[in-house]
């Protein structure tokens, strides 16, 4: 299906691959010797062809009535997605630990030690009313299987009432899940746990607590019924990234890391800034926001047909889920406007290869790390 989740997520590479940017294609004759090549330079002709393709598939826009439907019923489209695919669509993202060492064992304390030591005095955050947040999921592609759920019990939605109560109450220090933790990570748009479970399996820090949320209640049920789910180390909850009336179950200034993996691209561009502003307020001074998402002219964007474009660089797939394709500058503006400082903002321009079918696929992803200043002017 054109414009669906294209083949070739980072997960197709070896689990212990080097950080991107280290494998170069110097001899075109060797293109099928590896699954992927880094920092592939595009010719002027290739770049111009990509631009023409986007102009062509953007000429016919989805009618306003359908656009309203995709927005109002977005949760239904994502629930349908997970009812069909369950946890067999995306592969566990073990590559995260090479791209984001902040998530790896002991790295959380050592990698950013200078920042966090200065912030201990800010460990106890103030109370806050409805800071809200979102949670949609759009991640990468690849019909690979993750660990399948061994059982399909008729367990009622776990922690549903707890989540609802937390969403409606004022969140104060010592009155939230993981309040005794010394290092807190939130993944927004967790899907079925392809990021969360590798973190919990790999990082045995006793002070670690992981929060994960998603727009899809079906996805969260799959997380909560996974045998790897441990409520003493993780709290999964349903949340809409764009809902300004709902709060996250943590106080502002309480998180060390926020993860956004192929998530921000799934929401309406006009709502992105407010969503990032709310997330920024949840970070401790020195805390980091980590993002990986679709870049402009990625293969997935070029595959869309006329009639699937919602607005500039924003499309709807055949299953009703949506995706935006970013530039580095757009993401930098979103994060710096929210009071964060750039640590990394890179384009991962990769040539992925299907050696069996002798196919080449040009992928464009953007990877970012932005830090909350130690003396935040937005607090």
- What DSSP assignment string belongs to 299-355? HHHHTPPTT-EEETTEEE-TTS-EEE-B-HHHHHHHHHHTT-EEEEEEEEEEEEEET
Indicate the length of the chain as a whole number: 379
| CA nearest to 374, candidates 40, 189, 7, 114 | 114
Residue 30 sits at the vertex; the CA angle it makes with 28 and 35, to the nearest 5 degrees, is: 110
pLDDT, tens digit, for every residue of 45-78? 888 999 999 999 999 999 999 999 999 888 888 7
Confidence of residue 2 (pLDDT cuts 50, 70, 90): very low
Q: CA–CA separation, 186 vs 255, rounded Å?
A: 7
* Per-residue model confidence (pLDDT) at position 379: 45
pLDDT, tens digit, for every residue of 188-225? 999 888 899 999 988 889 999 999 999 888 989 999 99
Q: Which residue has the higher pLDDT, 129 or 26?
A: 26
Q: CA–CA separation, 295 vs 325, rounded Å?
A: 5
pTM of the model: 0.74
* Per-residue model confidence (pLDDT) at position 81: 76
Average of pLDDT values for 265-280? 96
Could you tell me which residues come within 8 angstroms of residue 72 by beta carbon, excluding any fewer than 6 positions away?
none
| CA nearest to 111, candidates 278, 290, 263 | 290
Q: Which residue has the higher pLDDT, 118 or 63?
A: 63
* Per-residue model confidence (pLDDT) at position 131: 35
Question: For tokens 């002017």, what's the residue?
Answer: 377
* Per-residue model confidence (pLDDT) at position 348: 86
Q: Is the dihedral of CA 109, 211, 276, 344 positive or negative?
A: positive
Q: CA–CA separation, 365 vs 82, rounded Å?
A: 24
* Per-residue model confidence (pLDDT) at position 111: 45
Q: Which residues of 261-286 are buried (b: 16+ CB within 10 A; e: fewer)?
A: bbbbbbbbbebbebbbbbbbbbbbbb
Confidence of residue 352 (pLDDT cuts 50, 70, 90): low
pLDDT, tens digit, for every residue of 220-260? 999 999 999 999 999 999 999 999 889 999 999 999 999 99
What is the CATH topology of the domain spanning 33-108+181-372? Rossmann fold (3.40.50)
Average pLDDT, the chain: 76
Could you tell me which residues come within 8 angstroms of residue 167 by beta carbon, excluding any fewer than 6 positions away?
239, 246, 247, 249
* Per-residue model confidence (pLDDT) at position 362: 78
Residue 34: is it exposed, middle or buried by C-beta count within 10 angstroms (0-12/13-18/19+)?
Answer: middle
* Per-residue model confidence (pLDDT) at position 146: 37
* Per-residue model confidence (pLDDT) at position 41: 76
* Per-residue model confidence (pLDDT) at position 360: 62
Residue 335 burial (CB count, 10 A):
23
Q: Please, are residues 185 and 103 in contact by the beta-carbon 8 Å criterion?
A: yes
pLDDT, tens digit, for every residue of 165-183? 444 444 555 678 988 999 9
CA torsion, points 248, 290, 37, 87, in degrees to nearest 10? -20
- For the ranges 32-36, 268-272, 352-356, the maximum mean pLDDT occurs at 268-272
Average of pLDDT values for 304-328? 94
Residue 190 sits at the vertex; the CA angle it makes with 333 and 114, to the nearest 5 degrees, is: 60
Residue 232: is it exposed, middle or buried by C-beta count within 10 angstroms (0-12/13-18/19+)?
Answer: exposed
Question: For tokens 């748009």, what's the residue?
Answer: 189
């Amino acid at each position: 299906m054109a414009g669906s989740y294209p083949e070739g997520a980072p997960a197709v590479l070896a689990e212990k691959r080097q950080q991107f940017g280290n494998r170069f294609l110097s001899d075109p004759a060797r293109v099928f010797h590896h699954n992927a090549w880094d920092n592939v330079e595009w010719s002027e002709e290739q770049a111009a062809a990509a631009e023409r393709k986007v102009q062509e598939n953007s000429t016919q826009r989805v009618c306003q009535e359908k656009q309203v439907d995709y927005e109002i019923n977005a949760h239904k489209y994502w629930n349908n997605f997970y009812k069909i695919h369950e946890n067999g669509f995306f592969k566990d993202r073990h590559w995260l630990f090479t791209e984001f060492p902040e998530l790896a064992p002991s790295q959380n304390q050592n990698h950013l030690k200078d920042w966090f030591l200065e912030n201990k005095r800010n460990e106890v955050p103030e109370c806050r009313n409805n800071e809200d947040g979102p949670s949609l999921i759009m991640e990468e592609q690849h019909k690979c299987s993750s660990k399948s759920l061994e059982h399909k019990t008729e367990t009622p939605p776990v922690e549903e009432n707890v989540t609802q109560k937390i969403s409606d109450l004022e969140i104060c220090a010592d009155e939230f899940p993981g309040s005794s933790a010394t290092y807190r990570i939130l993944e927004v748009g967790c899907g079925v746990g392809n990021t969360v479970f590798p973190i919990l399996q790999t990082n045995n820090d006793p002070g670690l607590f992981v929060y994960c949320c998603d727009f899809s209640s079906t996805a969260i049920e799959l997380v909560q019924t996974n045998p790897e789910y441990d409520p003493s180390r993780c709290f999964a909850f349903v949340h809409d990234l764009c809902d300004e009336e709902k709060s996250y179950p943590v106080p502002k200034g309480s998180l060390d890391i926020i993860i956004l993996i192929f998530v921000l691209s799934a929401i309406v561009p006009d709502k992105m800034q407010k969503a990032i502003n709310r997330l920024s307020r949840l970070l401790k001074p020195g805390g980091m926001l980590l993002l990986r998402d679709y870049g402009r002219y990625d293969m997935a964007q070029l595959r869309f047909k006329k009639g699937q474009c919602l607005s500039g660089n924003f499309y709807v797939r055949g299953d009703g889920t949506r995706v935006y394709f970013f530039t580095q500058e757009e993401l930098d503006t979103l994060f710096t406007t929210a009071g964060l400082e750039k640590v990394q903002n890179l384009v991962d321009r990769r040539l992925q290869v299907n050696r069996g079918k002798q196919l080449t696929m040009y992928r464009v992803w953007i990877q970012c790390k932005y830090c909350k200043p130690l003396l935040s002017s937005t607090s």
